[in-house]
Structure 1
Amino acid sequence: MSWHLWAVLLLLICVPGCDARQASLARVQPAHNVGMQPEHNQLEACVADYHAGVDYFPQRASFSWSDQLSVEYGLNFKRLRFRSSVNVGEPLEIVLVQCGTPTPAHSPATLVVQVPIQRLATGNSAMLGAADELGIVDRLVGIENVRAPTVESVRKRVASGHIHELWGNAHSNIEPIMAAQPDVYLSFFSANPQFNIHPQLQQVGVLALPQADHLESHPLGRAEWLKFLALLVNREAQANRQFAAIEHDYLRWAALTSDLQQRPLVMAGFPSGRGSFEVFGGLNQRARLIADAGGQYVLEQSRERGSLVQVSFEHIYEKGAAAPFWLGARPGYASLPQMLATSPHSRWFRAAREGRVYAFDQGYTGAWASPYQDQSMTRPHVLLAELLQVLHPQLSPSALPSNVFVRKLP
Structure 2
Amino acid sequence: MSKKLLSTLLFITLTIFFLSNCAEKKKPLPVEQIETKIKIEHATGFTIEQNGSFTVIEVKSAWPGSETSFKYALIPKEKLATITLPNDAFDAIVAIPVERMVVTSTTHIPSLEELGVLGSVVGFPNMDLISSTVARKRIDSGLIKELGTNENINTEIALELNPEVVVGFGINGVNRAYETLKQSNIPIVYNGDWTESTPLGKAEWIKFFAPFFQKEAVADSIFKGIQESYNKTKLLAKKATQKPTVLTGGLYKDVWYVSGGESWMGQFLKDANAKFLWADTEVKGSIGLSLEAVLEKGQQAEFWFNPSLHTSYTELEEVNAHYRQFDAFLNKKVFSNAINKGTTGGLLFYELAPQRPDLVLKDLISILHPELLPDHKPRFYMPLN
Greater helix proportion = 2
Question: In the alignment, what sits opposite 2:18?
Answer: none
Q: Is residue 404 of structure 1 aligned with residue 382 of structure 2? A: no
Question: In the alignment, what sits opposite 1:253?
Answer: 233
Q: Is residue 374 of structure 1 aligned with residue 355 of structure 2? A: no
- Could you tell me which runs of 5 or more consecutive residues in structure 1 were left unpaired when the two chains were aligned: 1-50
Q: Check the 8 A contact 2:310/2:338 in 1, yes or no.
A: yes
Q: 1:288 to 1:189 in 2, by over 3 A?
A: farther
**One-letter code aligned to 1:345:** H
Question: In the alignment, what sits opposite 2:15?
Answer: none
Partner-residue secondary structure (3-state), 1:377: coil
Q: Structure 1 residue aligned with 2:277, among 283, 291, 298?
A: 298
Q: Structure 1 residue aligned with 2:266, among 284, 287, 290?
A: 287
Q: Is residue 98 of structure 1 aligned with residue 76 of structure 2? A: yes
Question: In the alignment, what sits opposite 2:101?
Answer: 120
Q: 1:277 to 1:176 in 2, by over 3 A?
A: farther
**Residue deviations 1:301-348, cap 9 Å, x none?**
443333x66554444444433322111233462x22222223323223
What is the CA distance between 1:206 and its match in structure 2?
Answer: 3.7
**One-letter code aligned to 2:228:** H
Q: Check the 8 A contact 2:255/2:289 in 1, yes or no.
A: yes
The 5 A counterparts of 1:301-340 are 301-306=280-285, 310-331=288-309, 333=311, 335-340=312-317
Q: 1:75 to 1:252 in 2, by over 3 A?
A: same
Partner-residue secondary structure (3-state), 1:185: strand
Q: 1:399 to 1:65 in 2, by over 3 A?
A: same
**One-letter code aligned to 1:120:** M
Q: Check the 8 A contact 2:38/2:49 in 1, yes or no.
A: no
**What's the C-alpha RMSD, in Å, of the aligned pairs?**
3.2
Partner-residue secondary structure (3-state), 1:394: coil
The structure that has the greater radius of gyration is 2
Q: 1:106 to 1:81 in 2, by over 3 A?
A: farther
**One-letter code aligned to 2:94:** V
Partner-residue secondary structure (3-state), 1:100: helix
Partner-residue secondary structure (3-state), 1:114: strand
What is the CA distance between 1:233 and its match in structure 2?
Answer: 1.0
**One-letter code aligned to 2:194:** H
Question: In the alignment, what sits opposite 2:54?
Answer: 77
**One-letter code aligned to 2:384:** L
Moved more, 129-138 or 78-87: 78-87
Q: Check the 8 A contact 2:74/2:212 in 1, yes or no.
A: yes
For 2:198 and 2:355, the matched residues in 1 are separated by 12
**One-letter code aligned to 1:248:** E
**One-letter code aligned to 1:226:** I
Q: Check the 8 A contact 1:257/1:293 in 2, yes or no.
A: yes
Tell me the matched-pair count. 353
Q: Check the 8 A contact 2:38/2:47 in 1, yes or no.
A: no
**Residue deviations 1:264-313, cap 9 Å, x none?**
332222322x202344433222221111111233333443333x665544
Q: 1:337 to 1:135 in 2, by over 3 A?
A: same
Question: In the alignment, what sits opposite 1:237?
Answer: 217
Question: In the alignment, what sits opposite 1:353?
Answer: 330
Q: Check the 8 A contact 2:259/2:287 in 1, yes or no.
A: yes
Question: In the alignment, what sits opposite 1:24?
Answer: none
What is the CA distance between 1:383 and its match in structure 2?
Answer: 0.8
Q: 1:329 to 1:182 in 2, by over 3 A?
A: farther
The 5 A counterparts of 1:3-402 are 61-84=38-61, 86-101=64-79, 102-105=83-86, 107-168=88-149, 170-171=151-152, 174=155, 176-190=157-171, 202=182, 205-258=185-238, 262-272=242-252, 274-306=253-285, 310-331=288-309, 333=311, 335-365=312-342, 369-396=346-373, 398-400=374-376, 402=377
TM-score normalised by the chain length of structure 2: 0.80
What is the CA distance between 1:207 and its match in structure 2?
Answer: 2.3
Q: Check the 8 A contact 2:104/2:150 in 1, yes or no.
A: no
- Percent identity (aligned): 24
**One-letter code aligned to 2:381:** V
Q: 1:321 to 1:65 in 2, by over 3 A?
A: same
For 1:126 and 1:312, the matched residues in 2 are separated by 31
- Could you tell me which runs of 5 or more consecutive residues in structure 2 were left unpaired when the two chains were aligned: 1-26
TM-score normalised by the chain length of structure 1: 0.76
Partner-residue secondary structure (3-state), 2:149: coil
Q: 1:60 to 1:99 in 2, by over 3 A?
A: farther
Partner-residue secondary structure (3-state), 2:65: coil
